[in-house]
Amino acid sequence: MRNRLSGIFWGLLFLAVPVLGVATFAVAPAFDHWLPKDVSTHGTQIDSLFYFILALTGIVFVVTEVLLFWFIWKYDAAKNDRPATYIHGSHTLEVVWTIIPAATLLFLAIYQMNAWADVKMRRPDMPPTVEVVARQFEWRLRYPGRDGELGTPDDLHLTNDLHLPIDEDVLIQLKSMDVLHSFFLPNVRIKQDAVPGMKIPVWFKAREAGEFDIVCAELCGWGHYKMKGRVTFEPRAAFDAWLERKYAEQEATQPAPEAGESLAAN
């Protein structure tokens, strides 16, 4: 019954939790299993908050798991004959370990509000750059036509191929035709559900050119996995040129704008 080895064995098993846990997070970035590249201006705020919480929770994780290991190791009944301490608690300790986490959590709550407000509340005062309408299982895009206004007959209609200028605010008007979807740009740290019946504004500023994924992040049916789009960020001039090319293409193929957009317009 008094098997010292068993205590040592189980102790080490529990010690493996913080050791391997930290190791996993430490090696993951080396294998590129980590936050994808961020090309937005607000993304650093999100990423540094992520790292801050990672550090904070990492410390709590290591300390509590090591304590757990240490107690398992030290207070193994097979190892010592000392009776268990007869104690029902400690008022001081309870106060300490209530106040400290409470203060930390409250700090965290207040500290992050600004980043949230930047991404979701401080909407730039400008007309939409593009309207994104989600439907099973594609992203329908509508750019204002040459008149610069959405909802007019010369609007440009595209699918899944989003282009946006860099170094300036863009405002996307997000809608859904059928069920819920979620407009997720991993490289821009943007996610917003598209809700039928609602027009939800999404804004950000990209600071680097490149081509990235648009992912649907809300279950929208059997084809959810393939609801993929691409976003291309390019300098203003290149973006304008691209727009111009697309206008021309659309005018060549379908001179008169067809119906169906009346729905997208409401």
Partner 1 sequence: MTPPAATAVDHGHVTVSAPAHAPKGGLGHFLSTYVFSKDHKVIGLQFLFSTLVWFLIGGLLALAVRWQVAWPWSDVPVLGKLFAQEGGQMAPEFYTMLFTMHASVMIFLVIIPILAGAFGNYLIPLMIGADDMAFPTLNMLSYWFMWPAFFFFGASFFVEGGAASGGWTSYPPLSTNTASSPASGWGQTLWLLGLTMVGVSSMLGSVNYMTTIILMRAPGMTMFRLPMTIWGMFITAILQAFALPVLTAAGFMQLADRTLGTGFFSPEGLIVNNAVPGAGGGQPLLWQHLFWFYSHPAVYIMILPAMGMVSDILTTFARKPLFGYRPMVYSVAGIAGLGFIVWGHHMFMSGMNPALGITFMVSTMMIALPSAVKTFNWLGTIWGGRIQFTTSMLFALAFVSMFIIGGLSGIFMAATPVDIFIHDTYFIVAHFHYVLFAGTAMGVWAAIYFWFPKMFGRTMNEFWGKVHFFLTFIFMNGTFFTMHILGAVGFPRRLADAYHYETFHHLQPLNAFMTWCAIGMVASQIIFAANFFWSMFYGPVAGRNPWNANTLEWTAPSPPGHGNFDFQPVVHRGPYEYSVPGCEKDHLMQTDPPNAAAAAAALAAH
Q: Which residues inside 72-131 make contact with partner 1, applying CB under 8 A?
A: 72, 75-77, 80, 82-90, 93-94, 97-98, 101-102, 105-106, 108-109, 112-113, 115-117, 119-121
The interface partner of residue 115, options being Cu ion, partner 1, none and the CB cut-off 5 to 8 Å by kind, is: partner 1
Judged by CB, which is closer to partner 1: 171, or 177?
Answer: 177
Q: Residues 124, 125, 130, 132: what is their CA dihedral angle, to the nearest 10 degrees?
A: 70
Report the sign of the C-alpha dihedral through residues 207, 192, 185, 263, in that order. negative
Q: Which two tokens stand for residue 133?
A: 């309408």
Q: Which is nearer to partner 1, 70 or 148 (CB)?
A: 70
Per CB under 8 A, 20 contacts partner 1? yes
Shortest distance (Å) from residue 222 CB to partner 1:
4
Binding mask 136-175 for partner 1 (x = CB under 8 A): x---------------------------------------
**Separation of alpha carbons 64 and 70, rounded Å:** 10
The rounded distance, in Å, linking the Cα atoms of 30 and 33 is 7
Closer of 48 and 146 to partner 1 (Cβ):
48
User: Which C-beta is closer to partner 1: that of 140 or that of 145?
Assistant: 140
In angstroms, the CA 130 to CA 164 distance is: 9
Question: Residue 73: which residues within 8 A CB-CB, separation 6 or more?
Answer: 7, 8, 11
Largest Cα separation within the chain, whole Å, is 92
Q: Report, in Å, the least distance between residue 65 CB and partner 1.
A: 6
Contact status: 246 vs Cu ion (CB under 5 A): no
Cis peptide bond upstream of 137, omega within 30: yes
Partner touching 151 among partner 1, Cu ion, none, CB below 5 to 8 Å by kind: none
Give dist(CA 12, CA 14) in Å, integer: 5
Please report how close the Cβ of residue 182 comes to Cu ion at its closest, in angstroms: 7
41 binds partner 1 (CB under 8 A): no
Task: Tell me if 256 contacts partner 1 by CB under 8 A.
Answer: no
Helix axes 91-116, 43-74, angle to 10 degrees: 160
Q: Can you tell me whether residue 218 is helix, strand or coil?
A: coil
Which x/- pattern, by CB under 5 A, does the window 166-205 give for Cu ion?
Answer: ---------------x------------------------
- Assess 180 for contact with partner 1 (CB under 8 A): yes
